[in-house]
Chain A
Amino acid sequence: EAQVTQNPRYLITVTGKKLTVTCSQNMNHEYMSWYRQDPGLGLRQIYYSMNVEVTDKGDVPEGYKVSRKEKRNFPLILESPSPNQTSLYFCASSLLPGETQYFGPGTRLLVL
């Protein structure tokens, strides 16, 4: 089944404790992206990747890192999480930029 998977689905952590949210797609898509969803703000893009080893900032990259060492994986790293990063995070992928994006199920993060 074609899908985007994220882990974990739910995460509670404390300020400053490094964490990684994994994202994997099995559709051989070139383009992958991370978004955060906050009430009243919709989805905002954090980082995106055009291909392996090619990443770029989205609209709200501060406090986040990403890597794209393999085509299928695009982990999101929070080196020192803060409470304002409490949010619902989505990973997405598409065959090419500008094409239909397929979304993962989301990761709900609470930073205390």
Chain B
Amino acid sequence: AQSVAQPEDQVNVAEGNPLTVKCTYSVSGNPYLFWYVQYPNRGLQFLLKYITGDNLVKGSYGFEAEFNKSQTSFHLKKPSALVSDSALYFCAVSPYGNNRLAFGKGNQVVVIP
């Protein structure tokens, strides 16, 4: 069965500094990888995904993520964090063509003005 690890409960970063949210996964076969963001009292919103192709994936709001097959990682990055990026971020994985999506426990990102 697939699984996702997001090792840090909370990530604190100063506004303007680079932001990284870590994600490692375990799956049989080729993975579909996703990042979602949840703002307070809202549902999850899609940020970006990796299915195949270039290992560096660009998504919404200036976020990007790098797929690293050898390290089974899919870290989310943003070069310059904004206060409005403060939210809960979820990494998710699904085996190719599979109908099950496994989420990590989520990372709270706090951007300090």
A and B interact physically: yes
Which A residues fall within an 8 A CB radius of B? 4, 31, 33, 35, 40-45, 48, 50, 56, 58, 90, 92, 97-98, 100-106
Within 8 Å by CB of B43, from A45, A58, A97, A105, lies A105
Binary interface profile of B, 87-100, with partner A (CB < 8 Å = 1, else 0)?
00010101111111
> In the assembly, what is the distance between CA of A70 and CA of B99, in Å?
19
B106 neighbours in A (Cβ, 8 Å): 42
- A sample of 30 inter-chain contacts (CB < 8 A) reads A4-B43, A31-B99, A33-B101, A40-B9, A42-B4, A42-B90, A42-B103, A42-B104, A42-B106, A43-B44, A45-B101, A56-B99, A58-B100, A90-B43, A97-B94, A97-B97, A98-B32, A98-B94, A98-B96, A98-B97, A98-B99, A100-B34, A100-B46, A101-B34, A101-B44, A102-B46, A103-B45, A104-B43, A106-B41, A106-B42
Assuming the A-B contacts A42-B90, A42-B106, A43-B90, are A101 and B101 also in contact, with contact meaning beta carbons closer than 8 angstroms in the complex?
Answer: yes
A45 neighbours in B (Cβ, 8 Å): 100-102
Within 8 Å by CB of B42, from A40, A101, A105, lies A105
Interface residue count on the B side (C-beta < 8 Å)? 28
A40 neighbours in B (Cβ, 8 Å): 9, 105
- Please give the distance in Å from B32's CB to the nearest CB on chain A: 5
Q: Are A103 and B99 in contact (CB under 8 A)?
A: no
Q: Are B98 and A98 in contact (CB under 8 A)?
A: yes
